[in-house]
Structure 1
Amino acid sequence: MGNLSNRDKFHSSIPNNLDVRALIVTAHPDDECMFFAPTILRLIELKAHVHLLCLSRGNFYNQGAQRVKELMKSCAVLGIPASRVTITDHNKLPDDPNAEWSDSVVSSVIIKHIKAHSFNMVLTFDGRGVSGHANHIAIHKSVSHLASSGQVCDDCCLLSLVTVSILRTYLSYLELPLSWLLPSCLRCVVGVKGYRQAREAMLCHRTQLLWFRHLYVFFSRYMLVNTFQMIPQGPNNLINLESV
């Protein structure tokens, strides 16, 4: 059987005999479809076991209860069953771009989840957090700490979602050639069917559907393609998921 720690390069797809247990770590309800939908859809298509760990209820405007329901509906659309969705409600992890999340709390929550479910792939934000949100960046900082401090097993692949420029973010399909040409450790691309599924998932987040988010859904490259880089100190695996 294949193993993520074998450092092989899979240029076309993850082999069917590779048992991937993937954890997507996000900060707020709606992150999963706004930023990670192509990854979730491709991994599920490849029969991976995909889990979501969301580190807040999205209660910045006191809508936490509603946003949790929206998140569960979105995950159902993307193909993640409710039993694989975990939402943290910790007073040191508020949904607030001005709040400094506790590194120790974030690290503790993530590593406990990784060990409890024996994940061999963890995917989250990079150091710029895609949108620059402080909560996104805090997650990357904590996962990087776990990687560099040796708390994550060698057979667990740690990946960060590449933040691109504002121009590239809103090029929609026109951005795809650049995503193919530039180097990445993992690339997930969806076609028209996948895009429609991602859009349907985003429409579940009704509390967040302000006018500019409709534009985001239409133009954002993150609804179509995700590219990842290894988090420093992680295993040196290069995986490339071709488009459907």
Structure 2
Amino acid sequence: MLEAAVLLGGAVLLWVLCSLWRASLRSRCGGLLPGRAGALLLIAHPDDECMFFAPAIIGLLREQRPLSVLCCSTGNYYNQGEIRRKELIQSCAALGIPSSNVTLIDHRELPDNPRVQWNSHVLSSLILDHMQDKNIDLVITFDEGGVSGHSNHISLYNTIRSLHCARRLPEGCSVLVLESVNIFRKYLSVLDLPISWFCPHDVLFILSRAQYKQATEAMACHQSQLLWFRHMYVLFSRYMMINSLNFLSCDQEGPETKVKDS
């Protein structure tokens, strides 16, 4: 009896997951997004784009939304900056972003280091210049948890929040931040789907099987980073197939320091 109950429960769970997945694939998240000019994916390191944001990238491109990537370091922590620069271009191409829409910054005030908070004045100036050049009206980046707690990720959030709340972003520009989930949910893979579906969020992107394959192919471009634990990440991380994002509000808690004009 117990075995039959377990099998029945598993079958019901599988049916629920499949139903949610089919329903989510029919949804058009892009229709919920403001503006139609250009979207900017703001990341800290080469491989952030596919490790954390592949569902959002593929979803935006599916909606034919112009998308550019601004990567704020070369990922040179282990002196592999030049290799990782090329890997980023290859990965973005696998996701559907041409090299002309990929910009990588190499600045001494923005080192790839998990213990370093980046210089907000330098970062804000680079971001604003890039947004003006690319005619951006939507920014997508990390939230205050940075997904992995990496200081460089969190620096991006702190800076974009300060710019947003100081009304220094282009008029009408919105900011979407990627939800950081707890360690249990982070490695549930597709099993996190019902939780992601029912938890509060503003925008939800979920990949189909074919799109997930595209995301893994992009990750495979980062050969210098594919150690054994990264292979495990690709298999089990929900970020490889699910992105839940929220619009940034100045009413929520955030850094007190404002980014001032230099």
The residue type paired with residue 240 of structure 2 is M
Alignment check: 8 A CA contact 2:30 2:60 kept: no
Which residue of structure 2 lines up, in the alignment, with residue 14 of structure 1?
30
1:35-86 deviation digits (Å, cap 9, x = unpaired): 0000000100110111000000010000000000100000000000000000
Q: RMSD in angstroms over aligned alpha carbons?
A: 1.7
**Structure 1 moving runs of 4+ over 3 Å:** 11-16
Residue 182, structure 1, aligned to residue 196, structure 2: no
The residue type paired with residue 166 of structure 1 is I
Which residue of structure 2 lines up, in the alignment, with residue 66 of structure 1?
83
In our comparison, the structure showing a higher alpha carbon Rg is 2
Distance 1:149 1:178, change over 3 A: same
Count of matched residue pairs: 224
Q: 1:76 aligns with which of 83, 87, 93?
A: 93
User: What's the offset of the Cα at 1:20?
Assistant: 4.6
Alpha-carbon distance in 2 for matches of 1:206, 1:56: 18
SS in 2 for 1:101: coil
Residue 216, structure 1, aligned to residue 226, structure 2: no
What runs of 5+ residues in structure 1 fail to find an aligned partner? Answer: 1-10, 235-244
Which residue of structure 1 lines up, in the alignment, with residue 254 of structure 2?
none
Alignment check: 8 A CA contact 2:39 2:139 kept: yes
Q: 2:153 aligns with which of 119, 136, 151?
A: 136
How is 1:183-202 mapped onto 2 (pairs within 5 angstroms)?
183-202=200-219
Alpha-carbon distance in 1 for matches of 2:76, 2:247: 31
User: What's the offset of the Cα at 1:117?
Assistant: 1.4
1:183-205 deviation digits (Å, cap 9, x = unpaired): 11111111101110000000100
Q: 1:36 aligns with which of 53, 56, 62?
A: 53
Which residue of structure 2 lines up, in the alignment, with residue 228 of structure 1?
245
User: What's the offset of the Cα at 1:12?
Assistant: 4.3
Q: 2:73 aligns with which of 51, 56, 62?
A: 56
SS in 1 for 2:243: strand
Q: TM-score, normalised by structure 2?
A: 0.82
Which residue of structure 1 lines up, in the alignment, with residue 106 of structure 2?
89
Distance 1:12 1:73, change over 3 A: closer
Distance 1:134 1:13, change over 3 A: closer
Alpha-carbon distance in 2 for matches of 1:127, 1:48: 26
Distance 1:13 1:171, change over 3 A: closer
Alpha-carbon distance in 2 for matches of 1:22, 1:15: 14
Q: TM-score, normalised by structure 1?
A: 0.88
Alpha-carbon distance in 1 for matches of 2:170, 2:212: 34
Which residue of structure 1 lines up, in the alignment, with residue 9 of structure 2?
none
Alpha-carbon distance in 1 for matches of 2:229, 2:37: 35
Higher relative contact order (CA 8 A, sep 6+): 1
Identity of aligned residues (%): 46
Alpha-carbon distance in 1 for matches of 2:31, 2:191: 29
User: What's the offset of the Cα at 1:15?
Assistant: 4.4
Residue 125, structure 1, aligned to residue 142, structure 2: yes
Q: 1:101 aligns with which of 109, 118, 133?
A: 118
SS in 1 for 2:213: helix
The residue type paired with residue 149 of structure 1 is A
Alpha-carbon distance in 2 for matches of 1:182, 1:153: 31
Alignment check: 8 A CA contact 2:205 2:242 kept: yes
Q: 2:163 aligns with which of 137, 146, 159?
A: 146
